[in-house]
Amino acid sequence: MLLKYSIRGAGYGEGPAIIEDVAADLGEGGLLVLAGPSGSGKTTTLLAITGVLNNLLYGWVEGESWIAGINPLSPEGFDEIPTRIGAVLQDPDKQLAMPTPYSEVAFTLENLGYPEHVIREKTVEMLERLGLRDKMYAHVEDLSGGEKRRLTFASAVVHDPPLLLLDEPSASMDPWGIREVRGFISDWRRRGKGVLVVEHKLRYFLWDGARIQVYRGGRVVRELEAPLSRGEIRFLEEIGVDAGPPRIRRVKPPTGSSRVLEARGLVIGYGENIVARDIDLYLDRGEAVAIIGRNGAGKTTLLKTLAGGLDPLDGEVLLLEEKTFSRQRIGRVFYVPQTPDYLFVAPSLEGEVREIAGKTGKPVDWITRYIPWYGEARKTSPYRLSHGQRRWLSIIIAYSYGAPVILLDEPSSGLDLRLFRRLAGLVGKLRGEGVSFLISTHDPRVVGEMCSRAYILDRGRLREIDRYRAVELLEEEAGLSLEEA
Amino acid sequence: MRRPSTSILFIYGLAITLLAFIYRDPYSLLLISIPNAVAGIYLGYRRAKLIVVLLLLSIWGTFLNAYFLANHGQVVAVLGPLVIREGAVRATAQIGLRLLAIAGAALIFIGGAEPEQIIRDLEAELRLPKTITFSLAYALRLIPLLRRDYSEIMFCRRQRGYRRIAYLPGDIKTLLLPLLSIAYQRAIWAGITVELRGFRKRRPRYRRPRIGLVEALLLSWLALQVVLPIMAGWTM
């Protein structure tokens, strides 16, 4: 058995148990998926069974865990655990520690005491296998999102461990990247290795025979095996796990509304480097429109140009039917970044709301009316709010500034299905109040459930695409199909 | 010409930092600050523009501090309601030159060192503890991320109606708070990852530092910066 654990309880510091009575085992070539809504204890389980929680994070674990014959809960076992596992975390930017792909992969082997000639040989071979050899000495910041994700895999498995642990591998990935992750997992299992995945986007990991443990409130509430029945999918979706195919809802387009934003012949880029050209797009009052495309296609550059953060290289942008310079759009076309933390300026939610009130002249009560969880979280630092709450707050900040257009960059990234639906509800409510949204996304649910139209940015050109086709394309590129899912 | 040894560059940077704290005489400080700042900006500006921005912010902070705490002596300048006196100028110059020397040395290190060699060379040649060498290597990895964070935060601040150039303490707080909070989160997860990749098992392999022409030139220039103030009779 590669992995066998039975945890009676585990928590942080001297705090209460975050997970209770969780147990599982995993053999060679097996796949175990821990699924559940955000905050249900999936990542804590991963940290507990690898010994990170009690050996590194000053937490506590009661119970047993064995990984390939080692007990990682003991200090001696924890020292040996890197030889038995490869771990890939959610965000490549938080995982990559070295400046170049070569040094990143070699770092693992150096730590484990491999001789220098073996380090060189294995590092080059692994980079070659994952298509990164040509960029061996490039700075990791010059890699695309997909390349960074591949590099995290390379550095996690270069020493050929028997067990691979993946924490939300689909997060921050476009469908093209998700297909690569899926291919990597299949390949790894074919080689007789075990794979444990923590995910709330379960539908990407539903290979026949995959075992699924469903978490809720720190406990395993159900154990399932793929393929799932309709009833099981419904149950999972109700608790916030993305298990079924994306829906395409009828999103009412605004009626008789005026044009709020329009780009004509826009050329975007940085200096000499043109990212996309001849962009024509429009957005009506109260409308939500999606922009899809690969990581690196230029979606964020387009949003920042429309928001006035970057000057267009050519073309014009009209706001409320008037031609504008970039600086005139700042704050009126409000850009909400993929990392909402960039927007916060105060050490507490209460302070944040006061800052908004001070800058916008809106009463504090007016602002807090849009934050239903304000009372329980007002003393909390905005950086310590849950992912969904931070996303929520960032949209309310934009709304409070009275911007007629809000640009959302990957708003569903890291959100479970339940939080996504709440966010979609908020966007729907604000649309009803006349705010327009332009949303850059990889998520077929955003296109299918939040937006009434969609554009695709591909190979430097933007074109309008049928919403159904956009959802289908995103599914196909991830290696699924709407029918199959 | 090949890049100088990372270990020698590190020794050079450390020595200049120590000299910046030891020297008090303005001529001595000028000797170590101007050449190192010029060389540092030439070599390291492309990799670490942020250090230059932070340096300017620090000098401005130093001036504000000196204006409120050491603004005595003869009047040097009057700018509207601001009366700037000799004490404030002297204190700003003294600390500013120190910061300039330290930032210059840091930029020379960043610009001259091969990032992927840092952890290996410092560990193997100078026998520095792995926790220090890793921190240095990770800092270089973080610089571009901090640069990206900085530019995102600055744009978000502009959208929220804050000043484009943060120069008052309140402005600086709204800039540093997100910058540090995001970096802190990132550092926690990076720590977990490197431990899961066997960092605690890491055993260095020692070797002697290589000293060729480039290293000899660098060490000679360092020696001059120590000896010249003594020979010229400038007070330390």
Do A3-239 and A259-332+403-477 show the same overall fold?
yes
Q: Place A483 in a pLDDT band, splitting at 50, 70 and 90.
A: low
Please state which of the ranges A19-28, A57-66, A367-376 shows the lowest mean pLDDT.
A367-376
* pLDDT at res. B208: 84
User: How far, in Å, CA of A397 to CA of A343, rounded?
Assistant: 8
Is 50 exceeded by the pLDDT of residue A188? yes
Q: Does A100 contact B174 at a Cβ distance shorter than 8 Å?
A: no
- Number of A/B CB contacts below 8 angstroms equals 147
What are the C-alpha distances in Å from A440 to residues A62, A298, A332, A404?
44, 10, 18, 17
How far apart, in Å, do the first and last CA atoms of chain B sit?
Answer: 35
- Contact of A12 with chain B, judged by CB distance below 8 Å, is answered with no
Arithmetic mean of pLDDT, A46-55: 96
Q: Is B152 on the interface with A (CB under 8 A)?
A: yes
Instruction: Pick the closest to residue A200 from A246, A247, A242 (CA basis).
Output: A242
| A375 — pLDDT class (breaks 50, 70, 90) | very high
Q: Where in chain A are the domains?
A: 3-239, 259-332+403-477
Q: What is the mean pLDDT of residues A179-190?
A: 90
Lowest mean pLDDT among A12-26, A49-63, A249-263, B13-27: A249-263
Residue A241's pLDDT is: 93
Nearest to A289 by CA among A424, A425, A407, A416: A407
Q: Is A415 exposed, middle or buried (0-12, 13-18, 19+ CB in 10 A)?
A: buried
Q: Give the per-residue pLDDT at B36.
A: 95
Residue from A124, A92, A88, A118 nearest A105 by CA: A124
Put simply, the chain A residues between 50 and 89 with a CB less than 8 A from any chain B CB are 50, 52, 56-57, 79-83, 85, 87, 89
Residue A353 to residue A348: CA distance in whole angstroms: 9
List pLDDT tens digits, range B34-77. Answer: 999 999 998 888 777 778 888 888 888 899 999 999 999 999 99
Q: So what's the pLDDT on residue B81?
A: 86
Our CA dihedral for A248, A254, A260, A262, rounded to 10 degrees, sits at 50
Decide which of B234 and B177 is more confident.
Answer: B177
Which amino acid appears at position A390 of this protein?
A: R
Cβ contact (<8 Å) for B202 and A110?
yes
Q: Does B120 touch chain A (CB under 8 A)?
A: yes
Residues in chain B: 236
Query: Tokens representing B88?
Result: 């404030």
Higher pLDDT, A346 or B113: A346
What confidence score (pLDDT) does residue B143 get?
Answer: 80
How is residue A263 written in tokens? 């780009």
Q: What is the mean pLDDT of chain A?
A: 92
Over residues A127-138, the mean pLDDT reads: 90
If pLDDT is split at 50, 70 and 90, which confidence band does A482 have?
low
Q: What is the pTM of this model?
A: 0.83
> Do A405 and A257 contact (CB within 8 A), yes or no?
no
Q: Which of B133, B195, B203 to mutate to test the interface with A (most CBs of A within 10 A)?
A: B195
Contact A437, A395 (CB under 8 A): no
Span A48-72, average pLDDT: 96
The answer to whether the CB atoms of A103 and B158 lie below 8 A apart is no
**Cα B41 from chain centroid?**
11
Going by the DSSP 8-state scheme, the letter that residue B69 receives in this structure is: H
Question: What is the number of other CB atoms lying within 10 angstroms of the CB of residue A322?
Answer: 8
Mean pLDDT lowest among A55-59, A146-150, A427-431, B191-195: A146-150
Chosen CATH of A259-332+403-477 out of 1.10.3080.10, 3.40.50.300, 3.80.10.10, 3.40.640.10: 3.40.50.300
pLDDT tens column, A149-178: 889 999 999 999 999 999 988 877 889 888
Residue range B132-167, pLDDT digits in tens: 888 888 887 888 888 889 999 999 999 999 987 877
Q: What is the pLDDT of residue A485?
A: 45
Phi, psi of A361 (to 5 degrees): 80, 5
pLDDT-derived band at B224, boundaries 50, 70, 90? very high
Rounded to an integer, the average pLDDT of A83-87 is: 96
The token duo for B70 is 């050491």
Return the higher-pLDDT residue of B115 and A366: A366
What is the rounded CA–CA span in Å between residue A180 and residue A185? 9
How many Å apart are CA A170 and CA A115, to the nearest integer?
A: 34
Query: What is the residue-wise DSSP string for B128-187?
Result: --HHHHHHHHHHHHHHHHHHHHHHHHHHHHHHTT--SS--SHHHHHHHHHHHHHHHHHHH
Q: Which fold has domain A3-239?
A: Rossmann fold (3.40.50)
Contact present, A23 and A5 (Cβ < 8 Å): yes
| Helices within A338-412 (DSSP H only) | 349-360, 364-368, 374-377, 387-400
Distance CA A48, CA A29 (A): 22
Q: Which of residues 87-126 of A touch B (CB under 8 A)?
A: 87, 89, 91, 93-100, 102-103, 107-108, 110-113, 116
Out of B140, B190, B197, the one facing A108 most closely (by C-beta) is B197
Query: What value does the mean pLDDT of chain B take?
Result: 88
Phi, psi of B85, rounded to the nearest 5 degrees: -110, 170
Statement: residue B236 has pLDDT above 70: no
